[in-house]
């Protein structure tokens, strides 16, 4: 996936991403019902065909083949929740090359839960990023500070995570989407404050600008839900969690994104 340019001169990106991961909250049949409901929300919004708002879904691994069929012909992109770092003798892992065969165009890497509970450090994340890019899949790189801090401090911590993920090879970052997810906001009753999110992302864009990446897509996740997107500045969209397991909430955020990008 190539970099999607943003409007550097405005506070609202020209392209907005709205996506959702189901994690492990749904069984197989429930996942298919949910995907059909999401497809309905997308189909009833023909303005999505213009491409200013890019919706994506990230179901669990066993659902991917059926998901590809359900969303075929729609603007929805298909993502995976994780990937291995190569083909080969890695029992229980899923190779990025296989994900590409299944029609996956982006893969979630470096999520705080993977880092904490599965002990994936920066080196592992970097190997997975390289493998995904080699397979032609855009990394959806999850980054975020552990505890709430001053925006500049939080941005510096996030910047360091991005630098580690690309092993300082900044050209690789041009094909990524950054999911800014403050660890302290994941699973919380409410997302981080809108002014805090906007300030962190603005500071992060300044740091990325040193490498010509100030316009990199940066979306917010961490208890994100309807009503948040219109309050944000400098942010390229939302990465939704459990709030969008009701497909109507996903549709509500799509409406907010379409309104924000209306010509």
Residues involved in catalysis: 111, 181
**Nearby residues of 192 by Cβ (< 8 Å), 6 or more positions away:** 148, 182, 184, 185, 220, 222, 223
Judge whether 213 and 221 are in contact, CB under 8 Å.
no
| 45/8 Cα distance (integer angstroms) | 27
């Amino acid at each position: 996936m190539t970099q999607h340019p943003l409007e550097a001169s405005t506070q609202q990106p020209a392209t907005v991403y709205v996506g959702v991961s189901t994690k492990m909250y749904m069984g197989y049949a429930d996942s298919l019902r949910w995907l059909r409901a999401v497809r309905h929300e997308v189909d009833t919004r023909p303005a999505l065909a213009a491409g200013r708002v890019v919706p994506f879904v990230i179901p669990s691994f066993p659902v991917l083949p059926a998901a590809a069929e359900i969303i075929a012909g729609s603007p929805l992109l298909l993502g995976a929740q994780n990937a291995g770092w190569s083909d080969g003798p890695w029992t229980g892992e899923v190779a990025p090359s296989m994900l590409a065969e299944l029609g996956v165009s982006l893969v979630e890497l470096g999520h705080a839960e993977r880092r904490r509970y599965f002990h994936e450090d920066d080196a592992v994340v970097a190997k997975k990023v390289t493998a995904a890019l080699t397979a032609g899949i855009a990394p959806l790189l999850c980054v975020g500070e552990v505890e709430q801090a001053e925006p500049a401090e939080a941005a510096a911590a996030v910047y360091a995570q991005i630098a580690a993920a690309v092993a300082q090879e900044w050209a690789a970052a041009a094909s990524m989407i950054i999911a800014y997810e403050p660890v302290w906001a994941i699973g919380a009753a409410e997302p981080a404050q809108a002014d805090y999110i906007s300030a962190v992302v603005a500071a992060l864009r300044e740091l990325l600008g040193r490498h010509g990446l100030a316009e990199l897509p940066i979306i917010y996740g961490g208890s994100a839900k309807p009503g948040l997107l219109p309050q944000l500045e400098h942010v390229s969209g939302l990465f939704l969690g459990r709030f969008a397991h009701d497909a109507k909430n996903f549709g509500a955020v799509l409406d907010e994104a379409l309104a924000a990008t209306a010509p």
